Structure 1
Amino acid sequence: MIKVDNLSYSFPQKDLYNKISFTLEEGQHCAFIGTSGSGKSTLIDIIMDPERYMFDGKLEIDPNCRIGYVSQFSQLDKTKETTVFEYIGEEFIKLQNEMTSICTEMETSSDIDTLLEKYQQSLDAFDAIGGDDFESNINKKLNLANLIKHKDLMISELSGGEFKLIQVIKEMLNSPDLMIMDEPDVFLDFENLNSLKNLINSHKKTMLIITHNRYLLNHCFNKIIHLENMELQEFDGRYIDYNFSLLQTKIELQELAIADNEEIERNEILINKLRTIATNNADASNGKALKARVKIQERLENRRIKEPFVDIKQPDISLATDNKIEETIALKVKDYSVTFDEMLLENINFEIKSTDKVALIGSNGTGKTTLLREIFKNNSDSIEINYDVEVAYLSQLQGEILNESNTILEEFFDAGFKTYREIRSYISNYGFDEEVIDQKIECLSGGEKNILQLAKVSASKANMLLLDEPTSHLDTYSQIALEKAIENYNGAILMISHDYYSIINCMDYVLIIEDKTIRKMSMRKFRKMIYASHFDKDYLEIEQKKKSVETKIALALKNTDFERAKILSEELEALIKLL
């Protein structure tokens, strides 16, 4: 369906791809992964509209291929006066109305042949998207997404997460040959994320989906395309098997690298000697010996670890505080209520201690973000923050915290940094190279903006963090780096999240919003709730064991204990089979 061959493309300030190649075949469900800012969304744009881009190499797409698309930035139009059913069935209803209008026109027109031709065109278009059963198909998809009860609601009444699912359903029912989605999971609550998983798995045609969501990656795909440092590789199989193959490659190559590095050093000395001899003595045999030795050196270099895929650099996220306080009540919320068009939260009460790490969860549209913002503003009589507590806030609306018209340099001068060198050194830990320091923030990817927010939050040295969907848009490597940073943080955290893994790996307990109120839930009960809806028995426990073994392998590799790493990889493989 799609064939990319030796494609290269560059922005004025950045090279994106260096002779990348892959194929996408009919019926494959392909996850497109890679670190934030590596060019995934741009490659999608090139596939969808190649005429807009000047690239080297070949891009072949079946000329009859119909592409459906769901953007990561789609916004709910609150003014749209149409029902959910009418919105999803828009194309079907339009074609139906066209055919009805043509039939009416035929009753009085003398030009029947032209009208018959127009009718046939509309009918062909209607049949191409499965028009005969469109009402039944809409109902099936709505049922699958657990949204059938919203069928007759106005679009304006939906939450952002519900609207995202409705967009996915609409594109699927228009029967594209290729369905492309760019981070469709961002900001979806637990139920909606599970619905998205069901929709993806029910779709029989080809899909190409950019995602960093570990739940979807582990449950929805049979092909992986991985873009890293301008290079790309493809893998036919599950994401979890792909990660294991990378780990095995890393163990093998690092073991080879120890011996290779020594041989490369010896070889380099010999090459320099042969070069000196060949320069001083033009004998042909000297030149041949030099060329042979250079070829050996090239072969040794090629055997080294392929950094783009098996040695991916994680950002060094460090959530530090200069003002650690003794265990006390950091935040007290008492009889807090909030109303928009209707009551969202009513007389809620909770306390957070100065070392608590708490997940705030609930369905889309239940008031989580509103509550977090109100705590940050701290101008309500119902919200009391300890005098010794300094608060920092990360927003899911990135422009709320970042001035997107600023360059990265300007943003950190505004944040209190004094010198160019200080800023350059600080943000390099977060994966921003010196050449992008003068880049406008608006030009960054969603993941890069979130990393930049985390860098600002960390620089504040606050002892209480309010984090609204901090893992959204982050690649999996950055998500894991953030989890480590949260584990090591010695202040209080209140975090809105729909990421199972981050909550289970980092949080002490959960505050869940239900029926306009809030209640505390232990991690044990949270796990039980998640199992009931989303996972097979013991899934998350196996994931935890898997994470523990991966950590041990990383330590063994650090200590160059390759035998232990190999034994542990066998243990890891056994756990993966259970998943």
Structure 2
Amino acid sequence: MIKVDNLSFSFPQKELYTNISFTLEKGQHCAFIGTNGSGKSTLIEILTDPERYLFDGKLEIDPDCRIGHVSQFSQVDKTKEMTVFEYIGEEFIKIQDEITSIYAEMATTSDMDSLLEKYQSALDAFESMDGDNFENTINKQLNLANLMKIKDLNVSDLSGGEFKLIQVMKEMLSRPDLLIMDEPDVFLDFDNLNALKKLINSHKGMLLVVTHNRYLLNHCFNKILHLENTEIQEFDGRYIDYNFSLLQTKIELQELAIADDEEIERNENIVNNLRAMATIYSDASRGRALKARVSFQERLEARRIKAPFVNIKQPNIRFGIANEIQDSTVINVSNYGVAFDELLLENVNFEIKSTDKVAIIGSNGTGKTTFLRDIYKNNLDSIEFNADVKVAYLSQIQSEMLKDSNTIMEEFIDAGFKTYDEIRSYLLNYGFEGEILNQKIESLSGGEKNILQLAKVSASKANVLLLDEPTSHLDTYTQIALEKAIEDYKGAILMISHDFYSVVNGMDYVLIIEDKTIRKMSIRKFRQMIYESHFDRDYLATEQNKKAVEMKIELALKEKNFELAKGLVDELEELIKLL
């Protein structure tokens, strides 16, 4: 239904695509992956509104193809006074009311033909959405996602994660030919993540989903589009098979690329020798030999192996610390509570030591973000800091910590950097270079904004980090870099996260919200709870082992140790069989 043929597009500061081609067909559930800032969201915008962009190449969309869209940055509209059921069924109810209104008009109209035409049009639209069964269909979807309990709640009372799921349902029930979803998993707790998995797998239409979530990638898709370094890779099959195929291809390509480099270097030495000889001797045959060698060198350069998926950028995240606090309490919470329309938390008591790494865990809507923000503001008697504490904060609402109207450069001047050269050198570690430094914050992707927040947190040299969903919007490689930075950090971390891997890989223990208060839980018990509630036995441990072997292969490739990489591929294949 959609065909992209040799499409190229760039912004003034950055080239995004070079002659990319792919197709989307009926029945495909396609995952759209790629590193942060590679242009995934922009390509979605081109697909949904092609006339807004000037691009080279062809974009063919079936004229009958209706496209639905769930945005990356959707927010709950606090002014909407309607229930969840009314919100999901809004289009159905609107057409139903229109049909009722036309019936009423028929009793008094003198233009029956025009009214009958309107009636037939509304009826056709209602039937195309299976309108007669819409109440039953909505109830089925709510049951599938285990969300019947919120059916009669106001939309304005939903958490961000709950609202995201409701949006997904609403778009699915409108039956578009293609539904595009940009990171629908962001901020979802474990229950809602599984609900999203069920909704995706039960959907009969065509899907294009941007996601970095490893669990969804392994369980929900039969096609992969991978955008990297301005080029795209298209793969029909599961993500787990694509990843395995990609690693094998990387090894083969890199071996060929190195062989090419060696041949080019040998030929360069011959050309240099011939040039040196030509300056001493004026023999015509030497000139012809030199010319032939130079021509051969040009052909070698032209056919040099291009491996856009071999070198994937991974930021170098390091949380420095200016003032270490030894063996003492840095945060003490005593009898904290918070309520809005209803009580969220009460009688919360705990303390954080100077090197503790702690995750706050709880379902969507239980008050985690409000609590962490109150700790950051530090203006309550129930929250006490050590006098030597310096705090840095990363917000899931990115505009809280980044000014949209700033350029990247201006943001870091405001953060205390003295010179542009200092900023350029620093941000190179985070993958920002060249003209992109002059881009406005508002033009960046969600992942790029979170990487900038991480860069600001790191530059602060704070000894206590408050991180609210730091892995949200981040590609897998950046998530792993963040896990390593957390592991190496010498200060205290209090982190809200729904990402299982970040919690079990980097935290000492969790603070879990249950029955409107918080209790301490070991990582071992937390892991056991997640297994029992959400996943098959040993699944996540096997998945984690798989990811560890994949990273070992990446490192072996960087070190050009192809024998080790090939041996690890065999180990990886055995783990994939278990999954």
Q: Same fold (TM over 0.5)?
A: yes
Match of 1:44 in 2: 44
Match of 1:57 in 2: 57
SS of 2:317's partner is coil
Match of 1:153 in 2: 153
Deviation, 1:551, is 4.0
Gaps of 5+ in 2: none
What is the one-letter code of the residue matched to 2:496?
I
Gaps of 5+ in 1: none
User: Which stretch has the larger CA shift, 186-195 or 558-567?
Assistant: 558-567
Aligned pairs for 1:176-195 (under 5 A) are: 176-195=176-195
User: Which stretch has the larger CA shift, 72-81 or 460-469?
Assistant: 72-81
Match of 2:218 in 1: 218
Assess if the C-alpha contact under 8 Å between 2:254 and 2:310 holds in 1: no
What is the one-letter code of the residue matched to 2:196?
L
Match of 1:401 in 2: 401
1:285–1:132: structure 2 CA closer, same or farther, 3 Å change rule?
farther
User: Which stretch has the larger CA shift, 238-247 or 267-276?
Assistant: 267-276
Match of 2:492 in 1: 492
Deviation, 1:414, is 2.1
Deviation, 1:423, is 1.3
Cα root mean square deviation, aligned: 2.3
Match of 1:13 in 2: 13
Identity %: 73
Aligned pairs for 1:499-510 (under 5 A) are: 499-510=499-510
Deviation, 1:556, is 3.5
Distance 2:209 2:398 in 1: 23
Assess if the C-alpha contact under 8 Å between 1:361 and 1:497 holds in 2: yes
SS of 2:167's partner is helix
What is the one-letter code of the residue matched to 2:296?
R
Match of 1:122 in 2: 122
Distance 1:32 1:281 in 2: 58
1:480-520 deviations in Å (ceiling 9; x for gaps): 11111111111111100111111121111111112210011
1:379-424 deviations in Å (ceiling 9; x for gaps): 2221122222221111111121122222222222222222222111
1:312-361 deviations in Å (ceiling 9; x for gaps): 01011111112222222222111111122222110111111211111101
1:15–1:557: structure 2 CA closer, same or farther, 3 Å change rule?
closer
What is the one-letter code of the residue matched to 2:576?
I
1:464 aligns with 2:464: yes
Match of 1:369 in 2: 369
Assess if the C-alpha contact under 8 Å between 1:271 and 1:293 holds in 2: no
Distance 1:312 1:54 in 2: 28
Distance 1:170 1:453 in 2: 32
Distance 1:291 1:136 in 2: 74
SS of 1:484's partner is helix
SS of 2:304's partner is helix
Match of 1:523 in 2: 523
Match of 1:432 in 2: 432
1:301 aligns with 2:304: yes
Distance 1:100 1:21 in 2: 47
Match of 1:532 in 2: 532
Assess if the C-alpha contact under 8 Å between 2:359 and 2:503 holds in 1: yes
Assess if the C-alpha contact under 8 Å between 1:354 and 1:491 holds in 2: yes
Assess if the C-alpha contact under 8 Å between 2:248 and 2:569 holds in 1: yes
What is the one-letter code of the residue matched to 1:461?
K
SS of 1:437's partner is helix
1:134-169 deviations in Å (ceiling 9; x for gaps): 111111111111111222222222222111111111
Match of 2:82 in 1: 82
Assess if the C-alpha contact under 8 Å between 1:404 and 1:441 holds in 2: yes
Assess if the C-alpha contact under 8 Å between 1:428 and 1:434 holds in 2: no
1:462–1:432: structure 2 CA closer, same or farther, 3 Å change rule?
same
Deviation, 1:371, is 1.2
Distance 1:90 1:550 in 2: 46
Distance 1:369 1:118 in 2: 49
1:574 aligns with 2:577: no
SS of 1:330's partner is strand
1:123–1:326: structure 2 CA closer, same or farther, 3 Å change rule?
same
Match of 1:95 in 2: 95
1:321–1:291: structure 2 CA closer, same or farther, 3 Å change rule?
closer
SS of 1:80's partner is coil
Match of 2:325 in 1: 325
Deviation, 1:100, is 2.2
TM-score scaled by length of structure 1: 0.94
SS of 2:132's partner is helix
1:288–1:3: structure 2 CA closer, same or farther, 3 Å change rule?
farther
Number of residue pairs the alignment of both structures matches: 576
SS of 1:310's partner is coil
SS of 2:72's partner is coil
Distance 1:296 1:274 in 2: 18
Match of 1:202 in 2: 202
Distance 2:134 2:503 in 1: 40
TM-score scaled by length of structure 2: 0.94
1:114–1:410: structure 2 CA closer, same or farther, 3 Å change rule?
closer
Assess if the C-alpha contact under 8 Å between 1:267 and 1:297 holds in 2: no
SS of 1:454's partner is helix
Distance 1:191 1:80 in 2: 25
Distance 1:296 1:188 in 2: 52
1:355-378 deviations in Å (ceiling 9; x for gaps): 111110111221111111111122
Deviation, 1:181, is 0.9
Assess if the C-alpha contact under 8 Å between 2:550 and 2:572 holds in 1: yes
What is the one-letter code of the residue matched to 2:568?
L
Assess if the C-alpha contact under 8 Å between 2:222 and 2:238 holds in 1: yes
User: Which stretch has the larger CA shift, 355-364 or 539-548?
Assistant: 539-548
Distance 1:404 1:52 in 2: 22
Deviation, 1:285, is 8.1
Match of 2:388 in 1: 388
Deviation, 1:286, is 6.3
Match of 1:423 in 2: 423
Match of 1:339 in 2: 339
Assess if the C-alpha contact under 8 Å between 1:6 and 1:18 holds in 2: yes
Assess if the C-alpha contact under 8 Å between 2:264 and 2:301 holds in 1: no
Deviation, 1:281, is 5.0
Match of 1:263 in 2: 263
1:185-228 deviations in Å (ceiling 9; x for gaps): 12122211211111111101100111122222122111111111
Distance 1:272 1:122 in 2: 78
Assess if the C-alpha contact under 8 Å between 1:274 and 1:289 holds in 2: no
Match of 1:557 in 2: 557
